[in-house]
């Protein structure tokens, strides 16, 4: 399986000359089951029901890797249908290169511009350790999303144009530098005991802000700020925990906004994991 990735790196770190990276992980006893869904022919609900029925027969399922190129409302409906299995989920949404302007694709048994690929890892002797190294600290008052458009645009926050949050609290105005100026101040939402960070990738003249992932009317959030020292301290702790776990392989999914935020320090984040000689491969 695979997916296209957004490339927001500076020209120096652009991967256009080596655009494909292949990783292979071998399992001795773990079973790996792959499921493809073309969302041009399925709804998120139906796809989720199909996978739920499959999971009923996979008694030793341990976790699931999910990559997708569909909208956030679709993937949310999909995962809701088997959430009662309480399987740990990890993965990412397919991206598109800002320079190449390619179509975002996810790859399974076939290629999907609007699809989901789910990989179930099953085995009684499979053990896993999962970590979310957010590294951003919440600040200020809780705010309310009062108006949205589609599943990834916030138009109003506390009944005012969404961009006013940044101009009021951070003195950041909507202009061509808006995305770069707000990258270290994600909006922090809580969902099902999981902390989610949302960072705008664009803004509009009417004060709307655009996200790559889903946002919902009625959701509450707080602003946060990033500090590279704090982030790397959290990464160091995660690496120490992995040492204790004695992992044989790592699947690491990096947030594109962190690359923008950390700039020339971004390469140090995966390097922190490479410093420890794990028994197996490092997936990035």
**Interval 179-230: pLDDT, tens:** 888 888 889 988 767 788 888 888 888 999 998 777 889 999 999 988 888 8
Tens-digit pLDDT profile for residues 36-46? 999 999 999 99
Residue with tokens 């589609």, as numbered in its chain = 150
Coil vs helix vs strand at 106: strand
CB atoms within 10 A of CB 43: 13
Question: Could you tell me which residues come within 8 angstroms of residue 46 by beta carbon, excluding any fewer than 6 positions away?
Answer: none
* pTM assigned to the model: 0.82
Of 183, 100, 120, 170, residue with least CA distance to 140? 170
* Residue 284 pLDDT level (bands cut at 50, 70, 90): very low
Report how far residue 266's alpha carbon sits from residue 261's, in angstroms, rounded to the nearest whole number.
8
And the tokens for 141?
Answer: 């008052």
**SS3 at position 191:** strand
Report pLDDT for 21: 78
Helical segments of the chain, H only: 44-55, 72-80, 164-169, 178-182, 228-245, 256-262, 268-275
């Amino acid at each position: 399986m695979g997916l296209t990735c957004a490339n927001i790196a500076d020209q120096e770190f652009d991967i256009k000359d080596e655009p494909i990276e292949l990783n292979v992980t071998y399992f001795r006893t773990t079973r790996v089951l792959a499921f493809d869904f073309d969302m041009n022919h399925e709804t998120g609900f139906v796809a989720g029901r199909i996978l739920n029925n499959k999971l009923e027969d996979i008694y030793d399922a341990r976790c699931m890797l999910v990559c997708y190129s569909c909208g956030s409302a679709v993937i949310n409906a999909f995962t809701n249908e088997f959430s009662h299995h309480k399987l740990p989920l990890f993965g990412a949404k397919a991206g598109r290169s800002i320079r190449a302007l390619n179509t975002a694709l996810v790859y399974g048994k076939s290629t999907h511009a609007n699809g989901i690929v789910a990989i179930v890892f099953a085995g009684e002797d499979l053990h896993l350790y999962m970590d979310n190294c957010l590294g951003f600290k919440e600040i200020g008052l809780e705010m309310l999303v009062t108006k949205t458009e589609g599943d990834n645009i916030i138009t109003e926050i506390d009944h005012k144009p969404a961009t006013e949050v940044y101009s009021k609290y951070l003195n950041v105005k909507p202009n061509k530098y808006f995305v770069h100026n707000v990258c270290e101040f994600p909006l922090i939402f809580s969902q099902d005991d999981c902390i989610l960070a949302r960072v705008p990738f664009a803004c509009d003249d009417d004060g709307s802000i655009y996200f790559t992932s889903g946002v919902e009317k009625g959701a509450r959030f707080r602003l946060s700020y990033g500090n590279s020292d704090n982030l790397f301290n959290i990464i160091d702790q995660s690496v120490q925990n992995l040492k204790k776990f004695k992992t044989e392989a790592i699947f690491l999914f990096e947030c594109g906004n962190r690359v923008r935020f950390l700039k020339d320090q971004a390469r140090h984040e995966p390097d922190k994991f490479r410093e420890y000689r794990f028994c197996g491969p490092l997936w990035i």
